[in-house]
Amino acid sequence: MGRLVILDRDGVINEDSDAYIKSPAEWVPVPGSLEAIARLTAAGWRVVVATNQSGIARGLFDLETLGRIHARMHRAVAEAGGRIEAIFFCPHGPDEGCRCRKPAPGLLEEIAARYRTTLEGVPVIGDSARDLEAARAAGARPVLVRTGKGRRTEAAGGPALEGVPVHDDLAAAVEALLREEG
């Protein structure tokens, strides 16, 4: 089994929207993100996505539409030569008190259970404090990108950012991971 890397979706792989990504047409990749995933795939990494999708709870789109959005993402990544192995998502709203909505670690724990592994040292690349907090809570390694909400997150600072590497985008974060691997 290759090394595992966990990516947030909105703001990391695709452009984020405060109005939510509600259709496949609204799913637009961040420049360089598809190639970055292809580089990870080529280097033997297993790429998994963990994403909050409260738009479902808010009634903005349904599971079938989310499936179509993810099918578009899978296709785009595959066309670039990469592979996303699995997508884990939280469909709940912020007030539902679930364990899977980041910053809670539930989604990441689900990934660890599915892959029968510990998340120690596993990079979790996100653009928000809640991604970093979820990574920490699950014992993984938080990494911040400046795309999406990342610049705002970096500017806000705070304990979530302590000791966290910050990169301009997914391509730069992947570059650093691959360099580290030597």
- Range of 124's domain? 4-181
With beta carbons less than 8 A apart as the criterion, state whether 84 and 47 touch: yes
The reply to whether 16 belongs to the active site is no
Catalytic residue among 10, 16, 127, 131: 10
**Distance of alpha carbon 22 from alpha carbon 68, whole angstroms:** 10
Residue 87 φ/ψ, nearest 5 degrees: -125, 120
The reply to whether 10 belongs to the active site is yes
> How many CB atoms lie under 10 A from the CB of residue 132?
28
**Distance of alpha carbon 50 from alpha carbon 48, whole angstroms:** 7
pLDDT score for 182: 73
Total domains in the chain come to 1
pLDDT score for 1: 56
Catalytic residue among 8, 127, 131, 169: 8
Q: What is the CATH number of the domain that holds 75?
A: 3.40.50.1000
pLDDT tens, the chain, 182 aa long = 579 999 999 999 999 999 999 999 999 999 999 999 999 999 999 999 999 999 999 999 999 999 999 999 999 999 999 999 999 999 999 999 999 999 999 999 999 999 999 999 999 999 999 999 999 999 999 999 999 999 999 999 999 899 999 999 999 999 999 999 87
